Amino acid sequence: MFLVSICRRGIVGVIVELRHLRYFVAVAEAENVLRAATQKLHVSQPAVSRQIRDLEDELGVQLFERTGKAVKLTDAGFLFLKEARAILERTDEAVRNVRDFAQAGETELHVGYSLTPSGHILSATIRAFQKAMPNVHVKLHDWSNEEIAVGLRDGRLKVALVARALERGPFHDFRFEELLREHVRLAVPPNHPFARRRSVSLADAAQEPFVGLTREDFSDYHRYLASLFASVKNKPQVVEEHDSMTSVVSAVEAGTGVAVAVEALGYAFGNRVKLVRLTPEPKPISFGIAARKGRLSPATEKFWQCAKEIGVTVSHGQRPRLQIA
């Protein structure tokens, strides 16, 4: 944990965590605590409010004027915003310099990924990367999107293969390059009545019990589900939640319910479930590679280029045939 001593303009001996400064700057720029929490920091609103209160208590100065849901900087807040930005900029520069020094002799590359739809592109990317940089070991981390975003921010991950379903999802403020797009389908058991249809309407699908990912760990999945069925009067009910797509597929296969999935699920799980088209056709989900903005290390840059090359190959149809109804 980093600590900063603020000793300018009469504020002496106050110890402030960098987290306080990052939360403060995010709220100041958004002028709204909820917007800063969900769109910039990807944490809960109460956590942000608590950090701002702790910061004001520590400084003994009111930084914001509250009017309903909106917040506005006080004169002291404007002054502190300039100082906070300068501290964060210098801290980020120091971290980059240290990491660049350490990465000059990289021997390990930490890569985040989600099982679907990265299954048909991840292994090929690793093979290409290891051929190009045989002395760098790739360490994989199968995490949720939220965990991956945090891992990229704090440096535990250097790069990640991720799905970006929402414009304002956890990766909107990262360097992101699309590798391919995946069509959204409805996963049903092979013996389900829907499995014999060419397509299923969103309204009909919503009548079925749904199996999904845990809300606590995959909040972006539930936000996407809500947006997908926004036009449907009767919303789908998630009757069972799991912490991985492997478990979701097992539950669908067992007949517990249906699930929203992408075409690449067919690559990962074969005939265990049937993928049926939805109508109206949902917008395809963008799948790509993400990293923190700024200069990439040599190993990260090479992994990025390998993923792009494999993505072009996959986009041209050179992958196992998917079983779509």
Pick the CATH number of 184-283 from 3.40.630.30, 3.40.50.1390, 1.10.10.10, 3.40.190.10: 3.40.190.10
Domains 105-181+286-315 and 184-283 share a fold: yes
What the block records as the tokens of 246 is 């492997």
User: Can you tell me whether residue 5 is helix, strand or coil?
Assistant: strand
Q: How far apart are CA 116 and CA 262, in angstroms?
A: 8
Q: What is the mean pLDDT of the chain?
A: 85
Residue 32 DSSP label: B
In this structure, the number of other CB atoms found within 10 A of the CB of residue 162 comes to 27
Reported confidence tier of residue 102, pLDDT bands at 50, 70, 90: low
In this predicted structure, the answer to whether residue 179 has a pLDDT above a threshold of 80 is yes
Q: How far apart are CA 73 and CA 122, in angstroms?
A: 46
Pick the CATH number of 3-101 from 3.40.600.10, 1.10.10.10, 1.10.3720.10, 3.40.50.800: 1.10.10.10
Single out the residue of 294, 296, 209, 211 nearest to residue 251, CA to CA.
211
Please list, residue by residue across 302-322, b when 16 or more beta carbons sit within 10 angstroms of its beta carbon and e when fewer do: bbbbbbeebbeebeeeebeeb
Q: Where do the domains of the chain lie?
A: 3-101, 105-181+286-315, 184-283
Q: 324, 270 in Cβ contact below 8 A?
A: no
Q: 253, 189 in Cβ contact below 8 A?
A: yes
Beta-strand relationship, 184-188 and 259-262: antiparallel
Query: Where does residue 60 rank: exposed (0-12), middle (13-18), buried (19+ CB within 10 A)?
Result: exposed
Taking the whole predicted model, whether its pTM rises above 0.85 is answered as no
Residue 321 vs residues 121, 123, 144, 284: alpha-carbon distances, Å: 14, 17, 27, 18
The whole-number average pLDDT for the span 138-158 is: 90
Residue 150 vs residues 11, 74, 291, 308: alpha-carbon distances, Å: 31, 31, 11, 23
Q: How far apart are CA 310 and CA 153, in angstroms?
A: 25
Q: 22, 4 in Cβ contact below 8 A?
A: no
The whole-number average pLDDT for the span 269-290 is: 91
Residue 174 DSSP label: S
Q: 23, 41 in Cβ contact below 8 A?
A: yes
Single out the residue of 321, 217, 209 nearest to residue 260, CA to CA.
209
The whole-number average pLDDT for the span 158-173 is: 79
Q: Does domain 105-181+286-315 have CATH number 3.90.78.10?
A: no
Per-residue pLDDT tens for 220-253?
888 889 999 999 999 999 999 998 888 999 999 9
Residues 6+ apart with CB under 8 A from 67: none
Q: Which of 113-127, 161-175, 279-293 has the highest mean pLDDT?
A: 279-293
